Homo-oligomer: A and B are copies of this chain.
Amino acid sequence: MFKPLDPLLHSELRLAVMSLLISVDEAEFPYIKQQTGATAGNLSVQLDKLATAGYIAIEKTFKGKKPCTLCRITPVGLKAFEDYVAALRTYLNVKPDTTQ
């Protein structure tokens, strides 16, 4: 009847991060922070969780002299996101999306 929802993705902020990374393919910490409206602390924690699960890859580089945290989604993360959406549909009484 209802498929279980991946608890790692069933979180407003982590879902927003994943959604963002799917569309942009690579994003810096401050950009994600601005787009999601999250506090830096919360974002840091949630990014860590996604990275620990292998859903995103975090690369710490420098932009000139300033540190720069780059995030991108992984194939594992993309798959998890798609599975999550499919599971979610069992709760929404909605047919699968066929546009495109």
CB-nearest residue of chain B relative to A90?
A: B19
Q: How far is the CA of A16 from the CA of B90 in the complex (A)?
A: 9
Interface residue stretch chosen among A2-10, A49-57, A62-70: A2-10
Min CB gap A56→B, angstroms: 16
Taking the full assembly, how many copies of this chain does it contain? Answer: 2
The size of the chain A interface, using a CB distance under 8 A, is 23
Residues of A within 8 A of B (CB): 1-2, 4-5, 10, 12, 15-16, 19, 22-23, 35-37, 85, 88, 91-95, 97, 99
26 contacts between A and B (CB under 8 A): A1-B35, A1-B36, A2-B12, A2-B16, A2-B19, A2-B35, A2-B36, A2-B37, A4-B12, A5-B12, A10-B10, A15-B91, A16-B91, A19-B91, A19-B92, A22-B93, A23-B93, A85-B92, A85-B94, A88-B88, A88-B92, A94-B97, A94-B99, A95-B97, A95-B99, A97-B97
